[in-house]
Amino acid sequence: MHEVLPGNTLDKTTLEGLVEDLENRLQVQETVFVADRGLMTEDNMKTCEKAKYPYILGIPRRKNEKAEELLRRKVPGKDSQRACEIHREEVDDMNRRYILCLDEETRKNRLETLDEARKEKSKELQELKKRFEKSRSGEGRGRPMTKNGATTQVEKILGKNKRLLHTPRCRLLGRQGLYRQHLRYLQDVGYALLFSTNYL
């Protein structure tokens, strides 16, 4: 069975109809839903649980205090790829399990790539800082660079690396906290946090 949905359909809105089709039209009694973070909503989890369908869902990390807390845990073992249950919650007589996974090879490769990006962007930011200070002191040509103008340049330099090299806007030119934020972001590289039920 397959179904083609309109391109502007939100992932999180598709699961309820699919469960209804499996239950009623196809009469599927056993299945496991595996999905990325786009389907991770309380309504979707309850839909699967009501139908007695187990699931494995990726957990969003952004603006998620629980995810941030659990991603600080360690994954015991020596295998390069490993996982363990690190938390469990009981909801309506059902256990929801948090599984933390680690891929050492992926982590190593990503850290190397991110370190190169950090060095490159840090150099560009330092050069911008010098130009800004020179401009504000009256040594540069033309009108002095404004803080808003400099901040715009910072945004262009960082591009998709904003999370990697994020600092508060008022400190961007001074770069205070740059490496502290960088290191905090790197802690999660190579890790994945999954959410599952006790049916598995």
Do 110 and 87 belong to one domain? no
pLDDT at residue 170, as a whole number? 36
Q: What is the pLDDT along the chain (200 residues), one digit of tens a residue?
A: 566 666 656 666 767 777 877 777 777 778 888 888 877 788 888 888 888 888 888 888 777 788 888 888 889 888 899 999 998 888 777 788 999 999 999 999 988 888 888 788 888 888 888 888 888 787 767 777 888 888 888 878 877 766 655 544 434 444 444 555 555 566 778 888 898 886 55
* Count of CB atoms situated within 10 Å of the CB of 40: 19
160 lies in some domain: yes
Buried b / exposed e along 172-189 (16+ C-beta atoms within 10 A): bbebeebeeebeebbeee
4 lies in some domain: no
What does the angle CA 140 – CA 142 – CA 146 come to, to the nearest 5 degrees?
80
Do 92 and 137 belong to one domain? no
pTM for this prediction: 0.65
6 lies in some domain: no
Do 94 and 112 belong to one domain? no
Do 50 and 15 belong to one domain? yes
Q: What is the domain count for the chain?
A: 2
Do 82 and 39 belong to one domain? yes
Q: By residue range, what is the domain housing residue 138?
A: 106-186
Do 52 and 100 belong to one domain? yes
Cα 134 to chain centroid, rounded: 38
Do 161 and 177 belong to one domain? yes
pLDDT at residue 140, as a whole number? 64
Do 115 and 164 belong to one domain? yes
Do 41 and 121 belong to one domain? no
